[in-house]
Amino acid sequence: MSNEDNTDDVDEPPIPEEARAAAGGAEQSDFVEYGIEDKPPLLESIFLGFQHYLTMVGATIAIPLVLAGAMGMPADVTAKLIGTFFVVSGVATLAQTTLGNRYPLVQGGTFSMLAPALAIIGVIASSGGGWETMILELQGAVIVAGIAEIFIGYLGIMGWLKRHMGPIVIAPVIALIGLALFSVPQITSATQNWWLLGLTVLLIVLFSQYLNNYNRAFRLFPVLLALVAAWLVAAVLSFTGIYAAGTAGYINFDTVANADPILAIYPLQWGMPQFTGSFIIGMFAGMLASVIESFGDYHSVARMAGKGAPNAQRVNHGIGMEGIGNTFAGLMGTGNGSTSYTENVGAIGITGVASRYVVQIGAIVMLFVGFVGYFGQLVATIPNPIVGGLFLAMFGQIAAVGLSQLKFVDLDKNRNVFIIGIALFAGLAIPAYMGNVGGASAFQTGLAGEFPFTLLEGVEVAGVSPLGIIATTTFVIGSTGMAVGGIVAFVLDNTIPGTREERGLTTWEDITEDADDFKPFWERMGDGDDERPAPGGD
């Protein structure tokens, strides 16, 4: 079925300059304190970069803690795993910002690949395997998934798909990146310390919105100032005994004092990776969900920074570099992959700091402190209520940025409203269903009892169960809201008839970078030129 009617055969009138400026994001340029190409003073950049990394501390600490707990890792090994995440994040961020898409995006562990990792751990645990076996199997699966992502990126697959993705697809994907995280335990825990969480949110709002014009520090460092202030309050209450051990908000200083000064982190530190077909396929599904999330992040950060939408070449190089980051993460032994951090995008929205240089300085700092045991344990003392406050302030910002893409779409057309509505609802409802199922194995058991999947029960091809592949892939993608919403919106927007103008594709193409606005690193090295400012840039 065609997705366009006959009106597309008529040449469309040029877009007025005022509409072109609005589409390019002139209002975002006014908001941005430091643009992508700006280089603040070094000391200021160190603090700004550190702030960027603090916004994603929840994921950076949560993912290794979840993995270590599921695998039964000893405490000293867990500390080393956390340090490994920091080191991988630093290296992957430097690679992405220097050789990849060159957007100010922090790279790090991904929740999309956490689901298949936990499924793999469960299978190995049921057969009596220990954490040593688990981490080696995870390494092998992540390495292969990373290599596959390299091909997806550098073969131009995502760039080709981009031609069929307009605002109607991108808006739900970005919005769901923020909305899908509303239920994280750092916010919704039944034992939540709501006044500490509320204090964190209140301070972020106070510094970034009410006091931002009174002092430049409030405008540049609202997250850092809020986090430090809330942490000091929690530290005092913990030290004086008002907060008891085990309660939300309690800070255990002993973990820092007992930490190893230096951590030995190096490739293949756990041993040689192991490669199992079914595990690799599960991790591949998680990687696909991560790719969709990153695609949305690229458009989101461009919008935040007042830049035009990324062109196909920038998207391809970003995804390809994330594949290299995944492979590196597998070799280092995180047991998880590497992707663009949504929290980092939210930080840009709050602080107005979109400088690539700042993110690179922060990456260098994280790379070195990853080897310092004291630092990792100190960061791990940030209580969940404070992390939840950061999430509450930032994820809503991301959702709003996604919905702002709809300014390019004709919302008077029923087909557009229908697609956006069903994509958003499906992106929230289907992951909720998957969460109630109880895991990939439980989902597979349910499929086995339904026709036509009953025909595949007990069937194996080269030792691999086709039913297991279908179940694991469906479960992982179905558990990822932005993947579900993006797929639904993509299929409907490209099959339900509609003109390019009403779908927002005409304006979307106009604000997208020209082909030569992004140069691969080998071309930049060859002529010494940087990229030209993208349309709508500051």
Q: Over the stretch 264-296, which tens digit does the pLDDT of each residue have?
A: 999 999 999 999 887 888 788 788 878 888 888
- Report residue 522 as tokens: 């080998």
Residue 481, pLDDT score: 83
Angle at 356 between CA 352 and CA 358, to 5 degrees: 70
Residue 536, pLDDT score: 41
DSSP 461: B
Residue 328, pLDDT score: 97
Half-sphere exposure of 451 (CA within 13 A, CB side): 0
Q: Which helix (H) or strand (E) holds 432?
A: helix 414-437
- Which residues lie across from 34 on neighbouring strands? 353
> What long-range pairs does 152-156 form, CB within 8 A, spacing at least 24?
152/291, 152/319, 152/320, 152/323, 153/316, 153/317, 153/318, 153/319, 153/320, 153/321, 153/322, 153/323, 154/316, 154/317, 154/320, 156/312, 156/316
Q: How many whole angstroms separate alpha carbon 510 and alpha carbon 505?
A: 8
Q: How many whole angstroms separate alpha carbon 415 and alpha carbon 408?
A: 15
Half-sphere exposure of 488 (CA within 13 A, CB side): 26
- Report residue 319 as tokens: 């995804």
Q: Over the stretch 183-240, which tens digit does the pLDDT of each residue have?
A: 777 888 888 999 999 999 999 999 988 998 888 888 888 888 999 999 999 999 999 9
- Report residue 10 as tokens: 């008529």
Question: Cα torsion at 195, 199, 201, 203 (round to 10°)?
Answer: 170
Q: In this structure, which amino acid lies at residue 331?
A: L
Residue 465, pLDDT score: 80
Q: Is the dihedral of CA 134, 469, 342, 422 positive or negative?
A: negative
Q: 353 in helix, strand or coil?
A: strand
Asked if residue 132 lies in contact with residue 270, where contact means CB atoms within 8 angstroms, the answer is: yes
Residue 527, pLDDT score: 63
Asked if residue 60 lies in contact with residue 86, where contact means CB atoms within 8 angstroms, the answer is: yes
Residue 530, pLDDT score: 54
Distant-in-sequence, close-in-space partners of 516: CB < 8 Å, separation ≥ 6: 532
Asked if residue 297 lies in contact with residue 354, where contact means CB atoms within 8 angstroms, the answer is: no
- Report residue 135 as tokens: 């981490």
Distant-in-sequence, close-in-space partners of 135: CB < 8 Å, separation ≥ 6: 71, 270, 333, 335
Query: Residue 451's Cα: distance from chain center in Å?
Result: 36
Domains of the chain by residue range? 23-106+113-517
Residue 21, pLDDT score: 40
Other Cβ atoms closer than 10 A to 233 = 17
Per-residue pLDDT of the chain (538 residues; tens, 9 = 90+): 444 444 444 444 444 444 444 444 434 445 688 989 999 999 999 999 988 887 777 667 778 877 888 898 887 788 899 899 999 999 999 999 999 999 999 998 887 788 788 878 877 887 788 999 999 999 999 999 999 999 999 999 988 888 888 889 988 988 887 787 777 778 888 889 999 999 999 999 999 889 988 888 888 888 889 999 999 999 999 999 999 988 889 998 888 888 888 889 999 999 999 998 878 887 887 888 788 888 888 988 888 887 888 999 999 999 999 999 999 999 999 999 999 987 778 788 888 899 999 999 999 988 888 898 888 778 778 888 998 888 888 778 778 878 888 988 999 999 999 999 999 999 999 988 988 887 777 888 888 888 888 888 888 877 778 888 888 778 878 887 888 898 999 999 999 999 999 999 888 888 888 878 888 877 877 665 555 544 444 3
Residue 529, pLDDT score: 54
Q: In this structure, which amino acid lies at residue 168?
A: I
